[in-house]
Amino acid sequence: MFDENTRDAIDRRSVLKGLGAGALAAAGGIGVSGSASADESSQHYHNPVGPVGFGDVSVIQDGDTYYAYGTETPNDIVPVAESTNLVDWTYTHSALDSYPDWRSDDAGVWAPDINYYDGQYHLYYSYSTWGSSDNPGIGLATAANPSDTFTDQGPVFRANDLGMTNCIDAEFRVVDGTPYMIWGSWYGIYGVQLTSDGADYVPGTTFQLAGDMREGPLLVEENGYYYLFYSTGHCCEGADSTYEVEVGRSESLTGPYYNREGTDLRDLNEHRSGVTVLSGDDQFTGPGHNDAIRDANGDWWMVYHVEATSSNETRQMMIDRIQWTDTDWPVVARTGTPSAQSPRPNAGSYDRGALPDGTYHVRNVNSGRLLEVAGASTSDGANVQQYVETGNTCQDWTVSANGDGTYTFTNANSGKLLEVAGASTSDGANVQQYADTGSACQDWIVEDVGGGQFRVTNANSGKLLEVANAGTANGDNVQQYAATGSPCQLWTFTEV
């Protein structure tokens, strides 16, 4: 934990078209890989970590490799850098090989947001002309792999579609199976529900999260809250930039969001500042437009850019750890200013899981009935069903993490494991109890979808645990099925 520990505003995002080519590496779009220092060690890294000219950073992990995507440069529409440890980054290529064709003017591609969704990589991007309210919008490009060249899918929405002044700086989020887009650039931070494929918006679903003079939203889910990080101040002015990061939080994606002083973020404006968590200093100017990623220890790291360093008036990628106070507010880089040197992240996959080990009642959200072994049987192959709470231990399940992101569910009455019968991968396959066999059909992934609700997915089949036909009666069968979005596929866990 951290001891607890504000500021003002007005400008916009640089397309970096003003960057001189001399600031860029001859071998590619943007400068060479970051931070090599004489006192570099296996325990510490030095900021900046990323290529020169790399701004508005969005990051994702695929296997052992991290990928970062940035705002366009003179030589790249969406530059991409790769790393295996989050601190040594190398420029590789451009994610787009041509400008999207849904604008004919001299628009720029800014502020990408990379996500894995619906079996492919979704790269959302802003498409706008610097300094102009020219009906900007957010587009979508997709690829099978993060290292591929992405294929443009066209606009998700434009400002005029929503009756807004500005629609850039995308932040994609899925809550309870429903995709949303959060965005904002200077005229308030807003959100809207998307269609199930994430490629279009749902009319009439917009909501506001923060007021004017805020942009570059990022949502981090932790401690039972959605934390909304965003940038404010003057960007894009080199050493004169006043860009910095503020934060608020909410128990709901749609808000309302409040900062540590109790101010509703929707009330912020040019004359009312928020609570700053990262601001510049003499060495690093204008930190902002950040993303966040977890390391193998479960620690959060903020990946962001600075507008200038003491030796280079060009955007560069930075990384600093996010820690939490005893009242669950974030502290960035220990002091709230960018670090020059810090202990390295623990690169690797984070698999702590969504639940602490314990014994639980597992209740179906749709019916309110508990998961149980029928007839309190102790036999292999005994059926699993739902039933009103009886107090019998056949309704108690000991949930234990396997250390790889999966869990086993052991019935407290029988000592047998919850499994999909016959290791089936088919929709409608039965769920039963059985002695431990070591099969993946006895392993389950528990996913927190917010609001105290969880999805439970079989590790072998990828299908969800559900009550058949969304039944609400005692004795209705429990089976596996592909995701449908029904609440019969959602569960709550109450410790017993």
Q: Are residues 71 and 174 in the same domain?
A: yes
Give the domain CATH number at 467: 2.80.10.50
Same domain, 369 and 438: yes
For position 132, what pLDDT does the model report?
65
Q: Which residue has the tokens 């066999």?
A: 437
Are the beta carbons of 433 and 455 closer than 8 angstroms? no
The residue behind tokens 């029928």 is: 374
426: domain range? 358-495
pLDDT on residue 271: 80
SS3 143: strand
Q: Are residues 32 and 170 in the same domain?
A: yes
Q: Coil, helix or strand for 127?
A: strand
Q: In this structure, are 364 and 489 located in the same domain? A: yes
What is the distance of C-alpha 447 from the center of its chain?
Answer: 14
Radius of gyration of the chain (CA): 24
In this prediction, residue 50 carries a pLDDT of 87
- pLDDT of amino acid 455: 95
pLDDT tens digits in sequence order for the chain, 496 residues long:
544 433 332 233 333 323 332 333 323 344 433 433 334 457 889 999 988 888 999 999 998 999 999 998 888 999 999 999 999 999 999 999 999 999 877 888 999 999 999 889 999 999 987 766 688 999 999 999 999 999 999 999 999 999 988 889 999 999 888 999 999 878 899 999 999 999 999 999 999 999 998 999 999 999 889 999 999 988 888 888 889 999 999 999 999 999 999 999 999 998 888 999 999 999 999 999 999 999 888 899 999 999 888 888 889 999 999 999 999 999 999 899 999 999 999 887 665 567 888 899 999 999 999 999 999 999 999 999 999 999 999 999 999 988 778 899 999 999 999 999 999 999 999 999 999 999 999 999 999 888 789 999 999 999 999 999 999 999 999 999 999 999 999 999 998 9
Same domain flag for 378 and 475: yes
Q: List CB contacts of 186: < 8 A, sequence separation 6 or more.
A: 10, 12, 166, 212, 213, 214, 215
| CA gap 308, 48 in Å, rounded | 10
Task: For residue 356, give every residue at least 6 positions away whose Cβ sits within 8 Å of its Cβ, in sequence order, or none.
Answer: none
Contacts of 262 (CB under 8 A, 6+ apart): none
Report the alpha-carbon distance of residue 309 to residue 316 in Å, rounded.
Answer: 8
**Dihedral of alpha carbons 30, 31, 32, 37, sign:** negative
Same-domain check for residues 371 and 303? no
Number of Cα atoms under 13 Å in the Cβ half of residue 496: 20
Phi-psi category of 83—alpha, beta or left, where left has phi over 0 and alpha has psi -120 to 50?
beta
- Out of 315, 343, 371, a domain closes at 343
pLDDT on residue 13: 34
What φ, ψ does residue 43 adopt, rounded to 5°? Answer: -100, -25
Asked whether residue 300 falls in the same domain as residue 385, the answer is no
Quote the number of domains for the chain: 2
Is residue 9 situated within a structural domain? no
Which residues have a Cβ under 8 Å from the Cβ of 63 and sit 6 or more positions away?
none
For residue 352, the model assigns a pLDDT of: 56
Residues 56 and 111 in one domain: yes
pLDDT of residue 253: 96
Residue 118 lies in a domain: yes
As a whole number of angstroms, the distance between CA 241 and CA 145 comes to 36
Asked if 80 contacts 91 with a C-beta cutoff of 8 angstroms, the reply is yes
Strand partners, 171: 182
